[in-house]
Structure 1
Amino acid sequence: MPVNEAIFRSAEMTMIQLYIPTEISRESIYSLGSLGLVEFRDLNKNVNQFQRSFVNEIRKLDNVERQYRLLIKEMEAHGIVPPETLVEDYELSHKNTVSTSQLDEICSNAQLLEDRVTQLSDAAEDLLKKQMDLKQYQQVLSATDKYFPGEVTRDLIELDDDQEQALLEARGDRDSNFITGVIPREKIPILEKILWRVLRGNLLFKTTEIEQKMYDQKAKEFVDKNSFVIFSHGEMILSRVRKICESLDADLYQVSSDSKSRQGQQVQINEQLTDITNVLENTNLTLTTELRVISSEIDDWTKCVKLEKSVYEIMNKCHYDLGRKCLIGEGWVPTDDIPTIQNTLEECSTQFSTDEDSTFPIIMNTVNTTRTPPTYHKTNKFTAAFQAMCDSYGIATYREVNAALPTAATFPFLFAIMFGDLGHGFIMFLAASFLVLNERKIGRMKRDEIFDMAYSGRYILLLMGLFSMYTGFLYNDVFSISMTFFKSGWAWPSSWKEGESIEAHQVDTYLIGLDPAWHGAENTLLFANSYKMKLSILMGFIHMSYSYVFSLVNAIHFHSMINIVGNFIPGFIFMHGIFGYLTICIIYKWCVDWVAIGKPAPSLLNMLINMFLAPGQVDEELYAGQAGVQVFLLVAALICVPCLLLIKPLWFKHQESKKYESLALSTEAAAASGDDENNLLSNLDLGDDEEHEEETFGDVMIHQVIHTIEFCLNCVSHTASYLRLWALSLAHAQLSQVLWSMTLGSSFSFSGLGGSVFVFLMFGMWFILTVCILVVMEGTSAMLHALRLHWVESMSKFFEGEGVPYTPYSFGSILDTPAQ
């Protein structure tokens, strides 16, 4: 059976119903998750999440995930980066489900690991606090030594001589005359000001900076600190000073004023510090060793628990039969993949049978339903980026024409019209080729957001660069310099007088693209303006026309004849009668040699304006019988407006009348046969299907009025919107020319060694600016404009975008989702 690629339309979907024996329900769901083809429906929508069957299992796994997050956080704190297993590698190495006993073992091991790591981490933190406390005590003792035996320098706090002398005399008599401690350096000025105001200057305040950063228990980090000594009088004042210091997160220490006692304190502190440092190093070594062992497997454990949790979440969407012997589930699957699902379930049933003679049969039935299936487009690595581009605007309605298929060709081409330069396109092509040729290697790398966007759209960039090279060849632009690929069709006169303007005459036709002779002409901008403006109108009309034809394809597929008669045909005549006529006139005007026939070329803009303002009047005739043709097309376009407005509502009104007549006849027949209305309604199928709100005549009429106004106005605005192709193309060419003339082009006028160096520097500047501004920034601008032309001007002609995305239960998508 050939596989339907589901590119032009979304894949056909079928709703299936599964009856899975309870004994193998978990293993069966795991197998379907590995397959990734079933989008399960929630059959327990009316049941609270906390009252479902597998809440306890999910809570247990939630707790395991929390424990793993704690372990990973500890690893990060110790500079350990756990190796990450790629999704595809994990799926290849973990094909089979984890047994219930293994899952219980995983949960118990996670608890043991959490307890062990938490115990070591808490012990290390307590030891670190004690170590920092002893180091601070050591710094205070060292800083205090210099205040007792020697001279004390005057501090910023100014005391008179009598006060300072009294404090210095009293400092050695009693320990209570001073307070020592350590405080964060940033709070020193605050402490000084508060003490000055509270004690009114009756104190002596000395500080010493601690070179090594100390651990702050409150901030949980290492900060700069200072040791300090405060001398003052009276126990009451010192008690107040202590409270002020403690309020500013200062650590206070008892220091003796006696020199021998302080030496004894220092010896004791040094011994304690040595012991605690040794214990702390051993504890940190043990903790780091265990974390390194855990880090090698933590990613696999996390993925395993994540998948097991997802299995129970899917099982919570299913419900049991009355005897709880069977788990019942429903879901959408691609019709072409039903045999694959059946084979997978049969293998699962056989694998987990208890003996050779007995198996657990899994029953799968297809269900007929009126529910709208989800939209699923099968993509490959080339079409995935284009599909994502269209899906970001809206999900296609089930089985309507997929906008991504034509976008794969038209998007890079419309971009290239605005970005037409052979050199710039080549740079973009090289960058995209690097991504494409190394896609396997880059795909296994960890990428940031911007680089991942470029990698995901590598094939879009490749086509954008390739098409830009083609249009650049047609424009004859290579970094704003023209190239003579073929012999020019224009020739200069053999003789001319110095100072007079000369005109070239055409002797032949340039083989393909723009003749290089135009690049040196004074009227090159005038010619390029006219050429690219008309070209953008032609491209826009072709783009909108084939997009509008897709609405006919959709109407034929959905057997909607009223949409063909009431929407497509009058809309097609309206758009082509005006703007199709304009494009034909543009091509015809290009094909006529107006110089040879001796007539001025008529203005197409004035012709289109007069076609509406002065029907039947032609000032400058483009062809014979022009007035009559324009009047006919104008009348046809005007007739199409009421057709767009009325045909579909009147048809709907007629259908509603027929429906009511048939319903009345059915009611009369039922009454004549003795059946009442309740019996009649009881015969209807009221299954668990979607309720579709019926449209009324007013709804259809309002919708059609909006559609008619929008379509007629959009024919004008959308055609004018394609003029951006002309504007951005000229802007890109002019900016490229200015950059060349101001950098590399002007450097060739210098000679000698200095000139060579200057050319080298200017080349570097020109290349960097070319890549950054002309390729990256201008390329991004042209890409956004091309995206708008597809989303608005093209897709609005046929795209409904009322679909629901197909989100199957897949381990790949679950593992790609970041943890909460």
Structure 2
Amino acid sequence: MNSKILFFIINIITIKGSAEMTMIQLYIPTEISRESIYSLGSLGLVEFRDLNKNVNQFQRSFVNEIRKLDNVERQYRYLIKTMEEHEIFPPETLAIDYEESHKNTLSTSQLDEIYSNAQLLEDRVTQLSDASEELLKKQMDLKQYQQVLSATDKYFPGEVSRDLIDLNDEQGQALLEAGTERESNFITGVIPREKIPILEKILWRVLRGNLLFKTTEIEQKMYDQKAKEFVDKNSFVIFSHGEMIISRIRKICESLDANLYLVHADSKSRQSQQIQINEQLTDITNVLENTNLTLTTELRVISSEIDNWVKCVKLEKSVYEIMNRCHYDLGRKCLIGEGWVPTDDISIIQSTLEECSTKFSTDEDSTFPIIMNTVNTTRTPPTYHKVNKFTAAFQAMCDSYGIATYREVNAALPTAATFPFLFAIMFGDLGHGFIMFLAALTLVLNEVKIGRMKRDEIFDMAYSGRYILLFMGLFSMYTGFLYNDIFSISMTFFESGWKWPESWKEGDSIEAHQVGTYLIGLDPAWHGAENTLLFANSYKMKLSILMGFIHMSYSYVFSLVNAIHFNSMINIVGNFIPGFIFMHGIFGYLTICIIYKWCVDWVAIGKPAPSLLNMLINMFLSPGSIDEELYPGQATVQVFLLAAALICVPCLLLIKPLWFKHQESKKHIALTEDNEVGTDIDENNLLSNLDLGNDEEHEEETFGDVMIHQVIHTIEFCLNCVSHTASYLRLWALSLAHAQLSSVLWSMTLGSSFSFTGFGGSIFIFLMFGMWFVLTVCILVVMEGTSAMLHALRLHWVESMSKFFEGEGIPYTPYAFNAILETVAQ
């Protein structure tokens, strides 16, 4: 009867571990292999193993199909890049909508059509883009030519007045003389504006000042073929003498990326040049506009479907990648694959494969049967936790610390309750919790609408953890109600248990008298009292120790659940039992003393309340010595608990290594006896006795390894019992800090504004309210909330999960289309 009760209690406290996994083996006919893999990808339940690890990626069966799809992806990337250059942004299709509209795989003819269409689109867009770029270059060249002709007119006689030339300037006189000589040599062109000083300096040094250099800024930006962008340019004219010098000037200009143009010295010739250039420019501009219009129109048509095409090709490519992981049996013309699946979902996979086999049959009489077998293996399965939209965020939080070992206790389920509660202890305020609750409730109520939106990284984090925020706000409202704090102001929900004296004189010290007990939570009479901080310090400090001990205790019990599940009696005897006695003999005793001290009315019995901190210190430094007795027989109890805790230390240190040494001796004796008799040793039985857990290579653990591991475990456990208990004092520290900061913000903003009256006072109160609300949300809710959340996260990762969590699991990554489509969206 007692064993049944114990088993029932264990079942109650057992937190469900990861889902049970089974390895399956699939034999898929080659005729429907691609369609079958596509159906399994839509299902998203099979994690395929790579059966061709020793085969090079470029030598696998379906590498040619993957290359074709890689080329299509390259072509689509080129099209998208061209769209972005023309400021055309293709609309994105949500993964949910795409999966619903593309449930069936494409046929071979449809794939061939995708290949051909992608090539046609690339050729067409490339042709139009190249034509547009060439026309743009010609247009810019004609515009530059036009600017050079316009700027050169003022440097020849008859085109510019003498008033524009300073005759007292030597360069001005030289310009006039150069203009009067028809046979003067000159060079005209266009150069980027930033290279003008360089050109001028080089020419001056090479020709030793034997030239005339004039430039004119071009107001419109010109296209630079080398930089592939529009830049500021200047037109220039260089006058000099001699063909050799002119040739040298031309080479220098060309080396600085200048565009040189032929301009006639004769006025009529220049006019005819201008007319010809203007006509050509008009024709080129019209052709360029028509080309760009055609290109833009075609890109807009493509943009409406390009996202679906990209997703389609990505999924088809993933199908062939999975097929390359399978073994292609040419003799039996089938594809052999292996993978892990949740045991509970095997029937779903079986029905899906049967439906696929029937659906893609060539006729009614012939079918392609797909054979699925379950495989018994010693490999370690991957860890898979079934989650919903509520538990997904908590599971992701725990998985960030480490992937749980297969079938061990899932830390995420208790975290769903303890994480928001420990956060609320540090963030206890009814008003601040209500603000956080409303923000999270908005995300929850609009989760479908927001889920279809494109979110940035920070907003996506808040949306993914919306249920965490909802519970954090809800629990904060509860603890704020217990603390009787709402924006640092107390609320009298029930009748106070303290009463102030009716008659008192100014300057007298007033003491309240207790007349009853406040119904629930902190009595509002403590707010405003001189010793309120002293009382809150003592109350919250002891409360944090209680919460920490409870949190660590139930976490440590999970190690017992793991040991029972894995049938490891040595971990129960060598680790759990001595560790449990050590932790509860010291800190469990401290917890009981805290509760006992709260239950005793020390004023009524006329004794001072003893210090529990001094009691705990003296328990180790002077066992059996009691300065202030808390209860009768205290010395005897403390000596007994201390002795039990000290005995547990060598038990933690020695039991497991000695058991391992004994087991190794038994195995060695058995091997010796078998060799003497001549009995063959069954290697499989030997491996099962060693309990390796999988069929992969493992290093055999020696006695030295076990001893070192146990020494480290014993030291860490004993020290962590102290440090982790003290770490929970952060619950007290952050709670007081949050309350004091809230009180200071209230008194310095909205609280001080109520002393003003009249119309001006109303305006001031309104402004102070806005300031108080903004600072409350930004500092107290966002910043303080983030700080409390990080501290609560640390308490779970370090103080709680270190008591039982192994974290040596392999994540379950099934072949699922939704995960692939989410990667495409990113």
What band does the TM-score fall into relative to the shorter chain?
over 0.9
Alignment partners' CA distance in 2, 1:755 and 1:146:
73
Change (3 A) 1:281 1:19: same
Residues 65 and 305 in structure 1, CA contact (< 8 A), matched pair in contact too: yes
Change (3 A) 1:742 1:319: same
CA drift at 1:285:
0.8
Gaps (5+ residues) in structure 1?
1-5
What are the residue-to-residue correspondences of 1:31-42 with 2, within 5 Å?
A: 31-42=39-50
Aligned equivalents of 2:443 and 2:544: distance in 1? 31
1:289 aligns with 2:277: no
Match of 2:802? 796
Task: Tell whether the 8 Å contact from 1:159 to 1:201 is kept in structure 2 after alignment.
Answer: no
- Which amino acid in 2 is paired with 1:27? E
The 3-state SS of whatever aligns with 2:373 is strand
Match for residue 592 of structure 1?
600
- Structure 2 counterpart of 1:535: 543
Alignment of 1:547-696 (within 5 A): 547-671=555-679, 689-696=695-702
Q: Secondary structure at the match of 1:16?
A: strand
Q: Structure 1 residue 513: deviation in Å?
A: 1.1
Q: Distance in 2 between the 1:478 and 1:152 partners?
A: 86
Q: Which residue of the other structure, out of 179, 186, 192, is the alignment partner of 1:178? A: 186
Q: 2:86 aligns with which of 78, 81, 94?
A: 78
1:714 matched to 2:724: no
Give the drift of 1:346.
0.7
Q: Secondary structure at the match of 1:20?
A: strand
Tell me the SS of whatever aligns to 1:392. helix
CA deviation digits over 1:195-253, x for unaligned, max 9? Answer: 34434444333333222222121121122222223333433333333333323322222
Q: Deviations over 1:45-68 (max 9, x none)?
A: 011111111111100100000000
3-state SS of 1:171 partner: helix
Q: Secondary structure at the match of 2:672?
A: helix
Q: For 2:232 and 2:779, how far apart are their aligned partners in 1?
A: 46
Alpha-carbon contact 2:380-2:694 (below 8 Å) kept: no
* Residue aligned with 2:527, SS: helix
1:331 is paired with a residue of what secondary structure? strand
Aligned-partner residue type, residue 793 of structure 1: E
| C-alpha spacing 1:162/1:186, structure 2 compared with 1 (3 Å) | closer
* 1:109 alignment partner, SS class: helix
Residue in structure 2 matched with residue 91 of structure 1 by the alignment: 99
The one-letter code matched in structure 2 to 1:787 is L
Query: Contact 2:217–2:233 at 8 Å: present in 1 too?
Result: yes
2: CA distance, partners of 1:209 / 1:559: 87
Q: Which moved more, 1:72-81 or 1:53-62?
A: 72-81
Match of 1:727 in 2: 733
CA displacement, residues 681-728 of structure 1 (integer Å, 9 cap, x when unaligned) = 599899993233321111111111110000000000100111111111
Alignment CA distance shift 1:598-1:202 (3 Å):
farther
Give, as a single letter, the amino acid of the residue that structure 2 aligns with 1:781: S
| Alignment of structure 1 residues 326-725 onto 2, 5 Å | 326-671=334-679, 689-725=695-731
Contact 1:167 1:232 in 2 (8 A): no
CA distance in 2, matches of 1:605, 1:512: 28
CA distance in 2, matches of 1:476, 1:314: 60
Q: SS at 1:146's partner residue? A: helix
Q: Return the alpha-carbon distance in structure 1 between the equivalents of residues 194 and 778 of structure 2.
A: 44
* TM-score in terms of structure 2 length: 0.95
| TM-score, with length taken from structure 1 | 0.95
Matched, 1:750 2:756: yes
What secondary structure is seen at the aligned counterpart in 2 of 1:645?
helix
Structure 2 Cα separation of the partners of residues 159 and 723 of structure 1:
91
Is the contact made by 1:203 and 1:231 (CA closer than 8 Å) also made in structure 2?
A: yes
Q: What does residue 3 of structure 1 align with?
A: none
Partner of 1:150: 160
Gaps of at least 5 residues in structure 2 are 1-13
Contact kept? 1:163, 1:202, Cα under 8 Å: no
Counterparts of 1:761 and 1:819 in 2: how far apart (Å)?
44
Contact 1:320 1:326 (C-alpha < 8 Å) held by counterparts: yes
CA displacement at 1:645 relative to structure 2:
0.5
Structure 1 residues 159 and 237, CA, compared in 2 at 3 Å: closer, same or farther? farther
Change (3 A) 1:154 1:531: farther
Residues 290 and 520 of structure 1: CA distance in aligned 2, closer, same or farther (over 3 Å): same
Matched to 1:143, the amino acid is A
Conserved 8 A contact 1:207-1:226: yes
The alignment partner of 2:237 has SS state of strand
- The structural deviation recorded for 1:152 is 7.7
1:47 counterpart residue number: 55
**Partner Cα separation in structure 2 for residue 344 and residue 704 of structure 1:** 49
- Once the two structures are TM-superposed, the CA of residue 748 in structure 1 deviates from its matched residue by 1.7
Alignment of 1:109-128 (within 5 A): 109-128=117-136
SS of 1:356's equivalent in the other structure is coil
1:517/1:662 CA distance change after superposition, 3 Å: same
Deviations 1:461-501 (A, max 9, x none): 00011111111111111111111112221111111111222
- CA spacing shift, 1:506–1:682, aligned 2, 3 Å: closer
Contact persistence 2:171–2:212 (CA under 8 A) = no
Distance in 2 between residues matched to 1:418 and 1:175, nearest whole Å: 93
1:786 aligns with 2:796: no
Tell me the distance in 2 between the aligned counterparts of 1:682 and 1:412: 49
SS class of match (1:467): helix
Q: 1:319 aligns with which of 313, 324, 327?
A: 327
CA distance in 1, matches of 2:86, 2:661: 75
SS at match of 1:818: helix
Q: 1:188 to 1:449 in 2, by over 3 A?
A: same
**Match of 2:6?**
none
| Equivalent of 1:273 in 277, 281, 305 | 281
Report the equivalent of 1:195.
203
- Closer, same or farther: CA 681–535 of 1 in aligned 2, 3 Å: closer
Q: For the structure 1 residues 236 and 771, does the alpha-carbon distance in structure 2 shift closer, same or farther, using more than 3 Å as the test?
A: farther
What is the deviation of 1:100?
Answer: 1.0
Pick the aligned partner of 1:26 from 16, 34, 38.
34
| Aligned counterparts of 1:275 and 1:460: Cα–Cα separation in 2 | 65
Structure 2 equivalent of residue 263 of structure 1:
271
Distance (Å, rounded) in 2 between the aligned partners of 1:529 and 1:152: 94
SS of the aligned residue for 1:208 comes to strand
Say if 1:598 and 1:190 are closer, same or farther in 2 by CA, change over 3 A. Answer: farther
Evaluate the alpha carbon distance shift between residue 597 and residue 481 of structure 1 in structure 2; reply closer, same or farther with a 3 A threshold.
Answer: same
Contact 2:402 2:808 in 1 (8 A): yes
Q: Residues 173 and 354 of structure 1: is their aligned pair in 2 closer, same or farther, counting only changes over 3 Å?
A: same
Please, what is the CA RMSD of the aligned residues? 2.1
Q: SS where residue 374 of structure 2 aligns?
A: strand
Question: SS at 1:211's partner residue?
Answer: coil
Which digits, 9 at most, give the CA deviation of each residue in 1:782-818, with x for residues without a partner?
A: 1111101000000000000000000001111111113
Whether contact under 8 Å (2:147, 2:235) holds in the other structure is: yes
* Distance change (3 Å), C-alpha of 1:141 and 1:752: farther
Distance 1:495 1:237, change over 3 A: farther
Distance, in Å, in 1 between the alignment partners of 2:299 and 2:320 is: 30
Once the 2 structures are TM-superposed, how far is the Cα of residue 752 of structure 1 from its aligned partner?
Answer: 2.0
Contact 1:159 1:202 in 2 (8 A): no
Which amino acid in the other structure matches residue 352 of structure 1?
F
Measure how far apart 1:305 and its partner are: 0.7
The alignment partner of 1:520 has SS state of: coil
1:736 aligned onto 2:742: yes
